[in-house]
């Protein structure tokens, strides 16, 4: 409901100002909540769309060249807190394939672990040391999670490196998990749509009943 404030007329230097009415609209909770949810979903969808676009474009380009190697770009959901605070749990990291010789200490890489205890788990950790074997021409890397007290038990071998982390999408992993379920899909898509639709219906009803919208008017007349 609109609230009205009457402002008294004042006379300044022979000029009378008439402030007739000031109409203030209260913040509509439904509109605010619906807008926030809608914008959040839109941003997530844009990020997902851009990621998929890059991924598909890379596959098509490599296919046209007859290259059947793994994609240059990949996306992975981080499941543990070993890289906190740099990378949080359920962040999605985007990796780009790099030549092992170009990787440096301090880079964050995603690789297939050589530790037999991890059974080939994909890991995202930071490079602490870089080694080169001139007899084999191979590189290996000592890695460590930023939040871990010790370095990884096994060295990351160059042939197991998937790529360097080039950027992350915060908490997108939660959205992926929710969208994987029917109930989650309803929550993410259907409820915001219903909220926006409900608000539009309510606003339309008010506009029909309202003959004219009062606005703030200032009239100036010289004596």
Q: Where in the chain is the domain with CATH 2.10.109.10?
A: 70-179
Cβ–Cβ < 8 Å for 156, 141:
yes
Q: Name which of 65-69, 84-88, 165-169 the model is least confident about.
A: 65-69
Number of H helices, E strands in the chain: 4, 12
Order of strands across the sheet that contains 156-157: 73-77, 92-96, 161-169, 108-112, 122-133, 138-144, 156-157
What's the rounded Cα separation, in Å, for the pair 97 and 108?
12
Mean pLDDT, all residues of the chain = 77
What's the rounded Cα separation, in Å, for the pair 192 and 207?
23
**Does 6 have pLDDT greater than 70?**
no
Give the residue among 132, 93, 149, 150 at the shortest CA–CA distance from 141: 132
**Does 4 have pLDDT greater than 50?**
no
Q: Could you report the per-residue pLDDT of 46-79, keeping only the tens digit for each?
A: 777 776 677 677 767 767 777 666 677 888 999 9
* Residue 13 backbone phi and psi in degrees, to 5: 55, 45
Q: Could you report the per-residue pLDDT of 10-33, keeping only the tens digit for each?
A: 544 454 544 545 445 555 666 666
pLDDT given for residue 201 in this prediction:
74
**Does 137 have pLDDT greater than 70?**
yes
- Tell me the mean pLDDT in the region 39-49: 71
* Residue keyed to tokens 């703030």: 216
**pLDDT > 90: percent of the chain:** 39
Cα R_g (the chain), whole angstroms: 29
What's the rounded Cα separation, in Å, for the pair 193 and 84?
35
pLDDT given for residue 145 in this prediction:
96
Cβ–Cβ < 8 Å for 137, 155:
no
Q: How confident is the model at residue 211 (pLDDT cuts 50, 70, 90)?
A: low
Q: Which two tokens stand for residue 169?
A: 């999408």
CATH superfamily of 70-179: Umud Fragment, subunit A (2.10.109.10)
pLDDT given for residue 209 in this prediction:
66
pTM higher than 0.75 for the full model?
no
Q: Mention every residue, 6+ apart, whose C-beta is less than 8 A from residue 49.
A: none
């Amino acid at each position: 409901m609109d609230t009205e404030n009457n402002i008294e007329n004042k006379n300044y230097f022979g000029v009378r100002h008439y402030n007739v009415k000031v109409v203030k609209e209260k913040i509509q909770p439904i509109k605010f909540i619906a807008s926030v949810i809608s914008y959040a979903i839109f941003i997530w969808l844009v990020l997902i769309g851009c990621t998929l676009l890059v991924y598909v474009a890379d596959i098509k380009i490599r296919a046209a060249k007859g290259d059947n190697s793994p994609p240059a770009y990949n996306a992975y959901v981080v499941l543990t807190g070993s890289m906190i605070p740099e990378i949080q749990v359920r962040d999605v990291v985007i990796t780009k394939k790099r030549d092992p010789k170009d990787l440096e200490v301090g880079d964050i890489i995603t690789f297939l672990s050589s530790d037999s205890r991890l059974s080939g788990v994909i890991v995202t950790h930071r490079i602490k040391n870089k080694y080169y074997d001139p007899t084999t021409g191979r590189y290996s890397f000592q890695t460590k999670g930023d939040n871990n007290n010790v370095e990884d038990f096994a060295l990351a071998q160059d042939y197991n490196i998937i790529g360097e982390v080039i950027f992350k999408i915060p908490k997108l992993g939660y959205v992926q998990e929710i969208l994987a379920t029917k109930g989650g899909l309803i929550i993410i898509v259907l409820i915001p749509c219903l909220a926006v639709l409900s608000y539009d219906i309510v606003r339309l009803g008010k506009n029909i009943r309202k003959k004219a919208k009062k606005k703030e008017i200032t009239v100036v007349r010289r004596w």
